[in-house]
A and B are shown apart, each in its own frame.
Chain A
Amino acid sequence: MNDIYLRLSGVAMTFEGQTGADDGLIALLTRPFAKGPAKPQTYRVEALKDINLEIRHGERVGLLGLNGVGKSTLLKVMAGIYPPTAGRVQKQGHICPMFEFATGFEMNQSGWDNIRTRALLLGMSRDEIESKLQEIAEFTELGEFLSYPVRTYSSGMFIRLAFAVSTSINPEILLLDEVMGAGDVRFAEKAKKRMFEFMEQGKILVFSSHNFDLLATFCERTIWLDKGQIVADGPTSEVTATYQDLVTHY
C-alpha cells in the first residue's frame, strides 16, 4: 500500500475578475466599438501566496487564522476544486472534502436519492452505498420524510442529511472547513460524537477551526495563515499560544 501524503509546493491562488455589470456577451462584443478607452473595473485578489507544506501519513493538521485569510481557499486547493494559479499540488490518497452542508441537492428528488447521489459524488461505490443506506437513514432521523422531495425540507433537515452521508464514508484524506454545528440541540450532540469518531478515522486530517480546544484535541500540528501566507507552522500548543497573544492584543 502506498503511503498517503499531501504536498503543496509554491502554491499561489489569485482571483481576477471584473466588478460591475459590464462583463457579459454584449459588453465583450461592443467593446471594440466603444467610444473612448473602455476600462472595466478589475479586481485582483491574491488569496494564497507561495504556500509550501507537506502533510504525511497519520498527521492531523489544524488551520488557524482570521476570516478571509485564505483557509477555505487553501482547503479547496488541496481538494483539487480550485486549480492553483502557480505551483503544484501532489497527493496520494482519496480526498474526502467536507466544506458545506447547505448546497448540492437535487431539489426534486427524494431524500433517498439525494443520499445516493451525494455518497456517489463523495466516492463511494454503488454496493457500499446500498449497504450503508439504512445506517445513514437512521442517523438522519428523517423517517418518512426521506421519501419526500428534498425541496420540502427545512434547512436543518438538509444539514442532517448531508452530514449523515458525509460522515459515513471511509476517509483517507479528510478536509474539513469549520463544519461542527449541525442541527438542533439533540442532533448537535449526536453529530459531535459522530464527527469526532469520523475525524479519528482519517489517515490525514486537515481542518480549519476557531476553536482552540478542538485544535488542541485533534491536531499535533497547526498552521497559522495570514493574508494568504503561512505565518507559523508547528506544534499546536505553541502556534495557538502566539496566535491568541497576538490577536487578542490588537
Chain B
Amino acid sequence: MPNLLNDTIQALRAWRVWMFLGVQDVKARFRRSALGPLWIVLNMAFFVVGAGLLYGVMIKQPMKILLPYLVSGFTIWGSILASLTESGWAFVGAEGYIKQFCYPKQIYLMRTLVYNFLILFVTLCSLIPVQLYFHTFYIIGWLLAIPGFLLLAIAVLAHITICAYLGVRFRDLPHAAGGILQVAFFVTPVMFPATMLKERHFDWIYRFNPFYYLLEVARYPLLEGKLPALDVYAGASIYIVLVWAIAFLVARSLDSRVVILL
C-alpha cells in the first residue's frame, strides 16, 4: 500500500518522461503520412458534412447550433471512449519497458493520458473554423472551458487507471468495453441535444448518465460562451469521486501483480 502511494508520487515527478513518451506516441501515429494530424481535422470535416446534413433533417435543428454541437460532442466522446477501451493496453503495450526499467509503472498511465488529450485538442481545433463560419466563436467560452477540461482529464485518468490494471488481468476487457460503450453512445446526448429527451420525458436517461456531465462540463462553455449550471459541475464531480474510489481499489488489489501477470 505505501508502495502504491510512493510509486504514484515518483511517477508524477517523472513528468519529463511521460510527456516525452506521450508526444512520441502522437508523432508515431502520423509518421510518414503526408497530411499528418490534419487527417483528424479532415475526418471530422467529412463527419460533420455527412452527419450534419442527415441529422439536420431528422432533428430539425438549425445548422448554426447543430454542427458545433456535433463536432464538440463527438470529439469529447472520442476521448472518453479511448480512455475506456484503448487504455486497456496501457500496461500490456509497455510490457517491454515495465519489465526492464525502474520507473514506476504509473508513468505509463500518464503517458496514455497525454496521448489521449493531445489527440483531443488537435481534434477540437476543427471546431474553430465551424464556429468562425457561424459567428459563434467566443474566446471567453474557450477560456471558461478550462475547468471543465480539467475535470474531464481527472475522470479520463481514472478510466485509464481502471482499464490499464484490469486489462492486464483480463485481456478480453478492451474488446468487451468497446461493445458496451457503443450502447452508451446511443443513450448519451452526444449526437442529439439533451432537450430532445426532456421534451419526451426521458430526461432520466441523461440525468443519471455520468458521461452526460463529463461531456457537458467541457462542451457547454465552448458552445455558449458561459459556464454551465452548477449541477453539471456537481454531477461531474460526484462521478469523479466515485470512479476514483473504484480506480483506487482496482489499483490496490492488482498493483503488485501487474509485472507478474504481464
Partners in one complex: yes
Complex: how many Å from CA A97 to CA B98? 12
Complex interface: chain A residues within 8 A of B3 (CB): 83
With known contacts A95-B102, A120-B16, A108–B176 Cβ distance under 8 A: no
**Which B residues have a C-beta under 8 Å from some C-beta of A?**
3, 16-17, 20-21, 24, 27-28, 31, 95-103, 170-173, 176, 255-256, 259-261
Could you tell me the distance in whole angstroms from the C-beta of A26 to the nearest C-beta in chain B? Answer: 8
Is A34 engaged at the interface, CB distance under 8 Å to the other chain? no
The 3 A-B pairs with the shortest beta carbon distances in the complex, nearest first, are: A104-B96, A103-B96, A121-B101
Output the nearest chain A residue to B261 by Cβ-Cβ distance. A17
Q: Which of B28, B103, B170 contacts A108 (CB 8 A)?
A: B28
Give the number of A-B contacts (CB < 8 Å): 74
A79 in complex: contacting residue of B102, B256, B260, CB < 8 Å: B102
Instruction: Name A84's closest neighbour in chain B (CB-CB).
Output: B256
The one of B17, B31, B98, B259 in contact with A109, judged by C-beta atoms closer than 8 angstroms, is: B31
Does A201 sit within 8 A of B, measured CB to CB?
A: no
Q: Which residues of B contact A95 (CB under 8 A)?
A: 102
Interface presence of A168 (CB below 8 A)? no
Give the Cβ gap from A126 to chain B, nearest Cβ, in Å.
6
How many A residues have CB within 8 A of the partner chain?
33
Q: How far is the CB of A92 from chain B (nearest CB, A)?
A: 14
Q: Quick check: is A189 within 8 A (CB to CB) of the other chain?
A: no
Residues of A within 8 A of B98 (CB): 81
In this assembly, does A52 line the interface, its C-beta being within 8 Å of a C-beta of chain B? Answer: no
> Interface on chain B toward A: helix, strand, loop, or mixed SS?
helix
What distance in Å separates the Cβ of A102 from its nearest Cβ neighbour in chain B?
9
- Contacts A109-B31, A120-B16 known; A25 to B176 CB distance under 8 Å? yes
| Assembly CA distance A25 to B97 (angstroms) | 26
- A121–B21 Cα distance when bound, in Å, is 10
Q: Which of A28, A104, A105, A109 contacts B101 (CB 8 A)?
A: A104
B74 to chain A, nearest CB (A): 27
Residues on B with beta carbons closer than 8 Å to the beta carbon of A28: 170
Contact A108 B100 (CB under 8 A): no
Q: Does A6 contact B (CB under 8 A)?
A: no
Identify 12 residue pairs between A and B in the complex whose beta-carbon atoms are under 8 Å apart, listed by A's number.
A82-B259, A83-B255, A97-B100, A99-B99, A103-B100, A104-B97, A109-B24, A117-B21, A117-B24, A121-B17, A121-B97, A126-B20
A116 within 8 A of B: yes
Selected from A76, A106, A122, the residue in CB contact (under 8 A) with B28 is A106
Mark A residues whose CB is within 8 Å of B.
15, 17, 24-26, 28, 76, 79-83, 85, 95, 97, 99-100, 103-106, 108-109, 113, 116-117, 120-123, 125-126, 149
With A and B bound together, what is the CA distance between A200 and B156 in angstroms? 46
For A109, the chain B residues whose CB sits under 8 A away are: 24, 27-28, 31
State whether A123 touches B173 (Cβ < 8 A): no
- Nearest residue in A to B166 (C-beta to C-beta)? A25
Query: Are B259 and A25 in contact, CB atoms less than 8 angstroms apart?
Result: no
B31-A99 in contact (CB<8A): no
- The complex places the Cα of A108 from the Cα of B24 at a distance, in Å, of 10
Closest chain-B Cβ to A177's Cβ sits at a distance in Å of: 10
Of chain B, the residue at the smallest CB distance from A149 is B31
Closest to B258 in A: A83
Output the nearest chain A residue to B100 by Cβ-Cβ distance: A99
The answer on a CB contact under 8 Å between B260 and A126 is: no
Q: Which residue in B173, B255, B260 is a CB contact (below 8 Å) of A15?
A: B260
CB pair B102–A100 under 8 Å, yes or no, is no
What B residues does A103 contact at CB under 8 A? Answer: 95-96, 99-100
